[in-house]
A and B are shown apart, each in its own frame.
Chain A
Amino acid sequence: MNNDNIMLKISGLKVSIDDREILTGVNLEVRPGEVHAIMGPNGSGKSTLSAVLAGKENYKVTEGEILFEGEDLLKLSPEERSWAGVFLGFQYPIEIPGVTNVNFIKTAVNEHRKRKGLPELSAAQFLKLMRERMAYVEMDSSFTSRGVNVGFSGGEKKRNEIFHMAMLEPKLAILDETDSGLDVDALRVVAGGINRLKTPENATIVITHYQRLLDYIVPDYIHVIYKGRIIKSAGRELAQEIEQRGYDWLIN
């Protein structure tokens, strides 16, 4: 392994909410081109880890650090993390009535471009890009004029998350339970979108309960998190074992 090429380095991370310690010492290293899966039973700290990475307030980091491309990620606001190339796909995407999906993503894309010193996209350029990226997740254009996630089905919301990801082209995507609430067809579409966005330069962390998603998105590493820390890391074969034997054998 090449230590110089670490995109994300989490060291000894301890996180509390309301004085309750949720993460009790997480270590993780992610390099460009890698796909990591984080699995674990309910309440083990999976979603807390993704929330802390994205910069959600009310989570208190009591120990440890997170470096993203060598920079202290914890110092950055959520929007600064996004500009730096971190993306969080929500387990429960938020509905924003009155803000159309197209306005929302256009604002986001142009804010990103502003930080890169690029001019705003023209209306035609934006439309072209949007059509192209919506096709990645088989979304039709009726979604653009609707309020963000308003009245979307579970599957549509998750497709919209991947559409946002496709528009923002993050370096590191953290996908929190992207497979929850999806039927087989929707899962295939969503996973297809994620795979299509994969390059040797970017990395993905998929957080999931089930092995099912990993049939479509093949991880390089699987980590099992339990009681706030990673108790087992292995290759993709671990998913099969968890599917057959559950988590108990790892916990005990």
Chain B
Amino acid sequence: MEQNYIYAPALTSEFRCKVPLKETRQLFIVNGKVQGGKSPFSLRLKEGEVMKEMLQIISVRHKSYKEHLATQQDFHFGKGSSGKIIQCSHTFSPDRFRTTEKVTISLERDAVAEFYIMQNEHNNAEHSTSYEVNLGAGAFLKMVFLSLHGGVIRNDIFLDFNEKHAECDLAGLYLTDSKQLMDNNIYVNHLVPECNSNQLFKGILDDEGVARFYGRINVAPDAQKTEAYQANHNLLISDKAKAYTSPQLEIYADDVKCSHGATIGRLNEDELFYMRTRGIPAAEARILQQKAFAYEVLEKISNTELRERMLSLVERRLRGEFSHCSTCIRNCC
């Protein structure tokens, strides 16, 4: 691995995470500058290289730079390599931060990668990220997005299957309140035969929050034996919350299994009444229902400690708190 990152760089304690996950190295990027390393950030795993620890990349916007920021991160996984990445983005103040980010991810033959993306910014922040993903033969990529908080959060994923037998599992949970907007646009391109893709995006929308989901699955004429699934489910908690969902399938091959499903709904009243008859107060019952709805996405996080931490962040978020860890006042994961 290129030593492009250093643990615990010379950083003021303001930025440090006080409760890092076990077996995780942390890298800080402040206003687009990699702390203790070259910018923009790039990570290259050599053939067969296995990352022993997770790498947590914590990008923060700080009031010392309020201009529009354009940044980039590049990840390359060589043949048969594997690793887990946590990408966190935060703002440290309620300034009008605008961030445009480009992330490239390429997996060579039989590489395995997991990305957990945690987005937690203030209401004035606008953060748009475009992911360009290329998968080689037999590669497996999992991406789990947790969009907890932010004025405008936009994620565009352009994923190409370039060789056979690759697989991707894309999942996202987005939570909005006040006037937040969460926008997910996903383009999965099956260019070759015998690849699998799975998408599950779920949102809980409160107040006047808005979510947009656009999911396009394209299956090229040659891409026989493709399996491609997509689901987008939205829960409206208030009368003014809105969800727009556009599932799109374009299939030019004839021997494929594809499906899509999109729903926009409310909390189930029968469940609510049942819980209340057992003495669970209505407000608590609604939280239980929302946690249950969110869990389907969160259970995709394979690391138990990370999953528990995300669960607790989501729960506190659903209770209307700006999420932060129990032992720290910073809004990190």
Contacts and interface: CB of A to CB of B under 8 A. Distances in A.
A175 B279 CA distance: 16
A94 B292 contact: no
A103 to B, nearest CB: 8
Interface in A87-127: 87-88, 90, 93-94, 96-99, 103-105, 107-108, 111-112, 115
Contacts of B295: 98
Contacts of A54: 273, 277
A77 interface: yes
B282 interface: yes
A97 B270 CA distance: 13
A54 B282 CA distance: 14
Nearest to A85: B279
B293 interface: yes
A66 B94 CA distance: 54
Contact of A104 (B270, B276, B288, B296): B288
Q: Which DSSP category, helix, strand, loop or mixed, fits chain B's interface?
A: helix
Contacts of A94: 270-271, 273-274
A40 interface: no
A98 B293 contact: yes
Given A94-B271, A104-B288, A77 B282 contact: yes
Interface residues of B, number: 20
B198 to A, nearest CB: 19
B9 interface: no
B234 to A, nearest CB: 16
A96 B277 contact: no
B292 A164 contact: no
Contact of A107 (B270, B288, B292): B288
A108 B270 contact: no
A82 interface: yes
Interface string B276-304: 11111110100011011101100000000
B231 interface: no
Contacts of B291: 98-99
A99 B276 contact: no
A55 interface: yes
A93 B274 contact: yes
A69 interface: no
A79 B292 contact: no
Residue with the greatest number of chain A CB neighbours at <10 A, chosen from B274, B276, B278, B288: B278
Contacts of B289: 96, 99
Nearest to A95: B271
A113 B210 CA distance: 39
B133 interface: no
A83 interface: yes
B276 A97 contact: no
A79 B288 contact: no
Nearest to B296: A98
Given A56-B273, A94-B274, A111 B281 contact: yes
A78 interface: yes
Nearest to A111: B279
Interface of A: 54-57, 77-79, 81-83, 87-88, 90, 93-94, 96-99, 103-105, 107-108, 111-112, 115, 147, 164, 168
8 contacts: A55-B277, A79-B277, A82-B278, A96-B292, A103-B288, A105-B278, A147-B292, A168-B278
Interface of B: 270-271, 273-282, 284, 288-289, 291-293, 295-296
Given A54-B277, A82-B278, A108-B275, 6 more contacts: A79-B279, A82-B277, A93-B274, A111-B281, A111-B284, A164-B278
